[in-house]
Structure 1
Amino acid sequence: MFCCRLCLLQIGCTEDGILNGIEATVYNNCGWCNNDNALGMALDHIDNAYYVPNWLVTPKACKTNIAANTATRSPGTCPGIFIMEGMIDQVARTLGLDPDTVRRANLYKKDQVTPIDIPLTYCNISTLWDDLYSSAEVESRKAAAAKFNEENRWRKRGLSVVPVRFWMEWGWAVPYTVHINIYAADGTVAICHGGVEVGQGINTKVAQVAAKTLGIPLDTISVKPSNTLIGPNDITTGGSITSELCCLGTLRACNELNERISPVRAANPKATWKELVAACNDQGVNLSVENFVEEKTDYQYSYNAYGVGCTEVEIDVLTGELQILRVDILYDCGDSINPDIDVGQVEGAFTMGLGYWLTEKLIFDQDSGQLLTHNTWVYH
C-alpha cells in the first residue's frame, strides 16, 4: 500500500480554468524504512493527462512507525493521478466552473512535453474525451442526475468523467528471453518466455503471435514454464510491459525461424507444416531459436497509453451506501492482438480501482504502528 498526501499547494490559472503553474509538496508515508518507495512514480504521474507549463513539486519521504511498503498495483501512479484530479476539482470549485470544462480545456495536445521531458509524439486524449462524451451521453445524463437530486432528499446521483495517460516505461534495461523449439516428430512448437502468466493472458498472446508469424494453427503451439537456465536474467513481470515485450521477442524469434526455413519451404511448396519441419530437420536446419529483448530508445519512455472513463453513481446520504449505476470506458490499445483479453484487462483495472478507493481501509495501532487489518476477514 502506497500512501501520499498533498500539502502546501498553490495553483495558478486563468479565469477560464487554464492551468499556468502548480507548486506543491507531496509527502509519502514510507513506514519504518524507505523500501519500495513509490514517491518518484507518484511525481512522474502527477500531471496525468493535463498540460501545465510550470511545475515545482517537492517530494518528502517520511519515516513513521508502521511497516514498510511494497510495490503493488500501479505503485505511486494512482495516488499521483488522484492528486492531479483533486487539483482540477479545486480549480473548478474556486472558479465556479464545471469540472469537465476545466479537464477538457487542459488536456495534453500532440507534441507537447511532460514535466519529465516525455515528448507526446502521439496524443489523442482530446479525441477520446469527445468521443466518450458523445457515446456515453454525458450531457443528458448529467441533466437527468440533477433532476433526480432535486426530487430525492436522501439519495443523490453524480457523474464523473476522468482521463488517464499512462507512459509505458520500457526504454531502460528490461530484458526478457524468448526461447522457441520446433519438434521434427510432429511439428509442434514449444515456447518459453521471461514473463509470468498471472491472468493477463500473456501466454495466449505469445502463442497467437507465434501462430500468426509461422503461419500454423494455434493448437500446434504450447507455452512452457521458464526457468533460470533458459532465461537467467529476465526482469520482473509488471509495469504493463511484459506481454508486449515477450510478444516482440516471439515475433523476432519466429522471423528468424522463417528465414532458416524459407529455402526448404521454397523447394517444397506443397509440403504440410509437419512435412516441412521434418525436411528442415533432415537437412540440418536449426529449429531452436532464442531472442533477447532489451530495448533502448532515444528517450527513456517509449510511448503513452490513453483512456477516458465515465462513472455514474448513486449514494445514500444517510448510510453512505454506494451503487455504481453505469460505467463507460474508452481506451486506445492500438491494434489489439486479442480484444477479449484486452477488454477483460480494462474491466479488471476498473474493478481494481473500485477496491483501491472504495473498500480498502488499513487500520494501524496508533502507539505501536502494528497493522490491525492484516487478514482477509478484517481487511475490508
Structure 2
Amino acid sequence: MALGLRQISLYDSSTWSVVLNSVVTDSPTTTWTRSPGMTEIAAYIEHIMEHIALVVKVDAADVRVANLSLPQAKSLLQQVRTDNQYDDRARTIVDFNEKNRWRKKGISLSTTVFPIGFFDTSYAILSVFKKDATVAILTSGIEIGQGLHTKVAQACAYELNIPIDLIVMKPSLSHVFPNSSGTGGSTGSDQAAWCIIQCCKELKLRLQPVYDKNPGKEWKDIIFAAANQSIDLQVTKSLTPTQNPDQTKPYSVLSAAITEIELDILTGQHQVTRVDILQDAGISVNPDIDVGQIQGAFIMGLGNWTTEHMIRNEDTGALMSNRTWNYKPPGAKDIPVDFRVTFLKADKDPRSGPYGGKAVGEPPLLTSCSVMYAIKMAIKSARKDAGLADEYFDMSAPFTSENIFLHSGVSHDKFLLK
C-alpha cells in the first residue's frame, strides 16, 4: 500500500495529506494479486477528482489537468484526450443522454503512474549443445503467461546473433534456483532477460578466440570447434539490485485511458463500447506480447470494478460467492467492443528494462477504474431524468447490474406508456 502513494504524487498534494492505518477485521485473510494496493489507491485518487468535478460542475478531465503536478502525466493526459477526441465524444454523449430515457452513455478519462522496483537475486543458466548448436535456457523467473520465455529467447537470439529457432526455454526448477527472487511486480521478464544477456556476453568472450581463428564460419561450426577445444559452453549468471545497480534502477510507468460505456437503465446491464489506452511501454521488445498484457490487465480490472462481487455470510463470514454461478469474472462478452492500445513514443530511458522496454503487466490495470466513472456519468443522467437531485451520490464498487439498477432512480411509477 505504501507504494500506492506514488499514485497520489501525480497530483498536487500541497493542501492535503494522507494518513494510512492498518486494521484487523473479522474477514478471512486473503492474498495479493496483480498490482496489489496500487489498484485501490489509484481508484481513491481518481474518485476524488470525479467528486470535485461533480460538485463544481466541470468535466473531470479538466479537474485532473488542473491538479496534475507531474509534467509527464499532464502531457500524457492531454495527448490521449486530443488524439481520441475526448471532448467531442463527451459532448455527443451528453446530447444522447438528453434524448434517451432508458439508454444512457458515459465516458471517463484516467491517468495513473506505477512504480517499478526490482526484487532480490535472479538467476539464469545458458547451455549450448555441441551436436546441433541448440541453446537451452533455464531462468529463475516463472513463465505465467506474461511472455517471459519469449522475451528471454529474443534477448538471447539478439545477443548471440542466432535464429530464435535454436533456442529452447526450459521450465524453472526450484531446486536449481533455491534462493531466487519471486516472479512479480511486473519485473520477472526484465530480470530474467538481464541475466541471460550477461550469460550471452560471457559466452561470446569464451568463443571469441574460436571466431578469430574461423572467420566467416557459421554458429554451428563455431560451437563444434569450441566444444572440441573443451571450452565451457554453459554459463550461469545472477542479477542482484545491490550488485547490479545499472540494470536495476527503479522507474515509473505512466498510463492513461478513456473508457466509454452504454447502459440499459431498466436492467442495470452495461457494455464497454470503446477503450483507448495510451501506454508508456518504453521501446517495446515485443509489441504483440505487450499489447496482450495491457489489454489483459485492463480486462482484469473491469472484472474487479464491475462484476466480481465478494459476498459473505453476515453471521459466519463464510464466502458465499464461491463458484461460477454467483461469482462472475469477466468473460468474452465483457471485452470492449472497440479496444485501442497506443504506445507512447519515447526515446530509450536509462531507467528501464532491457533494450529500453518497460513493464506492462500491472500498470494498465490501474486505469480500469475509469469504467466506474463512465458508468456513474450514465447513472447521473438517469437520476436526473427520475427527478432526483443533480448532486454527488455515493456508490460502492463493484458496479454490478444490481448495484447500477438500485442507484439509477428507477421506480415502477415511471413505467408509463405514451
Give the alignment's TM-score, normalised by structure 1.
0.81
Match of 1:105 in 2: 66
Flag structure 2 segments of 5+ consecutive residues without an equivalent. Answer: 329-418
Match of 2:262 in 1: 314
**Structure-to-structure mapping, 1:27-66, within 5 angstroms:** 39-42=1-4, 44-47=5-8, 49-53=10-14, 55-66=16-27
Q: Which string of whole-angstrom CA distances, capped at 9 and with x for unpartnered residues, describes residues 160-194 of structure 1?
A: 11011001021xx4221111001111100000001
Task: State whether residues 167 and 301 of structure 1, in contact with CA within 8 Å, keep that contact through their aligned partners in structure 2.
Answer: no
Task: State whether residues 154 and 317 of structure 1, in contact with CA within 8 Å, keep that contact through their aligned partners in structure 2.
Answer: yes
Matched, 1:81 2:27: no
* Distance change in 2, residues 1:344/1:321 (3 Å): same
Length, aligned pairs only? 325
Q: Which stretch has the larger CA shift, 350-359 or 256-265?
A: 256-265
1:245 aligned partner, one-letter code? Q
* Distance change in 2, residues 1:263/1:126 (3 Å): farther
Q: How many angstroms does 1:301 deviate by? A: 6.9
Q: Is the partner of 1:57 in helix, strand or coil?
A: coil
1:40 aligned partner, one-letter code? A
Alpha-carbon distance in 2 for matches of 1:127, 1:280: 53
Alpha-carbon distance in 2 for matches of 1:129, 1:96: 20
Match of 1:154 in 2: 102
Measured on the aligned residues, the alpha-carbon RMSD in Å equals 1.8
Match of 2:183 in 1: 237
Task: State whether residues 123 and 236 of structure 2, in contact with CA within 8 Å, keep that contact through their aligned partners in structure 1.
Answer: yes
Alpha-carbon distance in 2 for matches of 1:207, 1:55: 48
2:202 aligned partner, one-letter code? E
Alpha-carbon distance in 2 for matches of 1:235, 1:277: 32
1 or 2 for the larger relative contact order (CA 8 Å, sep ≥6)?
A: 2
* Distance change in 2, residues 1:55/1:264 (3 Å): farther
Matched, 1:328 2:276: yes
Alpha-carbon distance in 1 for matches of 2:304, 2:10: 21
Alpha-carbon distance in 1 for matches of 2:266, 2:11: 35
Task: State whether residues 163 and 309 of structure 1, in contact with CA within 8 Å, keep that contact through their aligned partners in structure 2.
Answer: yes
2:114 aligned partner, one-letter code? F
The structure 2 residue matched to 1:266, chosen from 209, 212, 219, is: 212
Q: Which stretch has the larger CA shift, 50-59 or 357-366?
A: 50-59
Task: State whether residues 45 and 80 of structure 1, in contact with CA within 8 Å, keep that contact through their aligned partners in structure 2.
Answer: no
Task: State whether residues 157 and 313 of structure 1, in contact with CA within 8 Å, keep that contact through their aligned partners in structure 2.
Answer: yes
Q: How many angstroms does 1:55 deviate by? A: 4.9
The structure 2 residue matched to 1:365, chosen from 306, 313, 318, is: 313
Q: How many angstroms does 1:58 deviate by? A: 2.1
Match of 1:343 in 2: 291
Match of 1:191 in 2: 137
* Distance change in 2, residues 1:54/1:258 (3 Å): farther
Alpha-carbon distance in 2 for matches of 1:55, 1:146: 33
Flag structure 1 segments of 5+ consecutive residues without an equivalent. Answer: 1-38, 111-123
Task: State whether residues 9 and 69 of structure 2, in contact with CA within 8 Å, keep that contact through their aligned partners in structure 1.
Answer: no
Alpha-carbon distance in 1 for matches of 2:75, 2:164: 36
* Distance change in 2, residues 1:185/1:55 (3 Å): farther
Task: State whether residues 48 and 164 of structure 1, in contact with CA within 8 Å, keep that contact through their aligned partners in structure 2.
Answer: no
Alpha-carbon distance in 2 for matches of 1:182, 1:205: 19
1:310 aligned partner, one-letter code? I
Task: State whether residues 8 and 42 of structure 2, in contact with CA within 8 Å, keep that contact through their aligned partners in structure 1.
Answer: yes
Match of 2:300 in 1: 352
Q: Is the partner of 1:371 in helix, strand or coil?
A: coil
Task: State whether residues 148 and 156 of structure 1, in contact with CA within 8 Å, keep that contact through their aligned partners in structure 2.
Answer: yes
Q: Which string of whole-angstrom CA distances, capped at 9 and with x for unpartnered residues, describes residues 36-83 of structure 1?
A: xxx4344x3451632323553222222222211211121111111111
Matched, 1:292 2:238: yes
More strand by share: 1
Q: How many angstroms does 1:125 deviate by? A: 2.3
Q: How many angstroms does 1:366 deviate by? A: 0.9
The structure 1 residue matched to 2:126, chosen from 164, 170, 180, is: 180
Task: State whether residues 46 and 83 of structure 1, in contact with CA within 8 Å, keep that contact through their aligned partners in structure 2.
Answer: no
Alpha-carbon distance in 1 for matches of 2:15, 2:128: 55
Match of 1:376 in 2: 324
Match of 2:357 in 1: none
Q: How many angstroms does 1:262 deviate by? A: 1.4
2:60 aligned partner, one-letter code? P
* Distance change in 2, residues 1:292/1:55 (3 Å): farther
Percentage of identical aligned residues:
37
Alpha-carbon distance in 2 for matches of 1:229, 1:371: 36
Q: Is the partner of 1:148 in helix, strand or coil?
A: helix
Matched, 1:141 2:103: no
Q: Is the partner of 2:19 in helix, strand or coil?
A: strand
Segments of 4+ moved more than 4 angstroms: none
Matched, 1:253 2:192: no
